A = this chain, B = another copy of it.
């Protein structure tokens, strides 16, 4: 499947224009400028699910035009991680994009994705790219002080890869507005800070929107491309992460003590793990953290209404899942 990402390969047909080079996308973008049309942008690594489609619909309904990118970014995978097995489902992705429409305001017609940007690795990394950070050459972006906690603590180098590729995508697309999912809350907040620090105008930091996580209506599992790794048995127990975060949330509200709340949550997860084990599914917690949404520092003390990011990661068999809940006032974070 990874051959699909080579430059010369024949793509599945799509009624939505697919741009494979930065130069061709720029030409399209120039026209949008001349016509003074707003351009929404959703960055993805493909393997689209309803979480992506929700972001896309937000963009479609709020912008004249919408670009969606599909690019599996090597720089955000550690050498030990799942770059080679990351799900690639291009035909299904294109079919899903063709079906995704929203009503055009004050007309009878509908809006659909205007452009799919699917650059090659060479176009995105003109100086080349290797997953081994120590061997990398070329330009990289680091958001210091905001990338070593939570997910960054478990995945060193991850946010460096994300910040670098998203800067390039922003420079190629020059979006008016852009939409990221709450499931990757640290990513969204870190990128918003990056836009501010780099004085980006496309998008301006306030135009980077973080939209609520889309969940399974059955058990609340956060949608993720990596859910495709779960066996049917894994899937049965995957929602225990979200349930654990909810236990922690209630305990935090009731006990107002972080250590006790996390202790209670971990005790709950242990019960769920035993049940899973009986099903032959191995569950292993990675972390549960409570962090300040501005500084990403560990939150220690309860403050009524104050926003706190309660986040967690765990392994279900060989699949690593993440999730989070915003406690307190989420204003200024989501939307």
Contact = CB atoms under 8 A, between A and B. Distances in A.
B26 A201 contact: yes
Interface residues of A, number: 31
**Count of chain copies:** 2
A193 interface: yes
Contact of A137 (B140, B144, B163): B144
B143 A199 contact: no
B145 A137 contact: yes
A210 interface: no
Nearest to A34: B36
Contacts of A145: 127, 136-138
A278 interface: no
Contact of A198 (B144, B146, B167): B167
Given A137-B145, A144-B136, A127 B171 contact: no
Contact of A126 (B142, B171, B197): B197
B142 A139 contact: yes
Interface in A224-282: none
Interface of A: 22, 26, 124-127, 136-146, 163, 167-168, 171-172, 174, 193-194, 196-201
